[in-house]
Amino acid sequence: MKQPRTEGFDPNAQDKPKPLKSTLDNMPTIEKQPVQQQVQSPIPVEEPRTTVPPVRVVRDVRPDQAVRRKIKSRHPFDIFEDQVDRLKQLSLEDRMRGGAGSMSAMVREALDDYFTKVDPQD
């Protein structure tokens, strides 16, 4: 059975603070490392030059899309795996050239071209 701590409740005890215990008591103290003097080399070292990344070119909006069209979100269609792979490859190539690489935009443009081919009156 555990023994209760009676020294905390002793009215005759003197007012001295209790020593606190920690699991870090036996750990070594953290001290600042001595600063080593840097030896200058007799040959001057050139700092690497920083290059400015190229600025992305903003593409113009197609002029025939002046009317804002509402985008239908998430309508499932079945397409072949090789079509998806080719679309991903074209998207990656467009991004590497600095474009947006939007597969959705590519599919929308292809549908517009198809509709124009099938029914040129629209």
Considering the chain, what is the average pLDDT of its residues? 78
pTM: 0.41
Q: Determine the pLDDT at residue 24.
A: 81
Tell me what the mean pLDDT of segment 5-31 comes to: 74
Q: Determine the pLDDT at residue 76.
A: 82
CA distance 30 to 27: 9
Q: What is the pLDDT of residues 29-88, one digit of tens each?
A: 888 888 777 666 666 666 666 666 666 666 665 655 556 777 777 778 888 999 999 999
CA distance 59 to 97: 12
Contacts of 95 (CB under 8 A, 6+ apart): 101
Q: What angle do CA 29, 33, 38 make, to 5 degrees?
A: 180
More confident residue, 3 or 78: 78
| Token code pair at residue 68 | 């804002």
Closest CA to 103 of 116, 117, 115, 86: 86
Q: Determine the pLDDT at residue 38.
A: 66
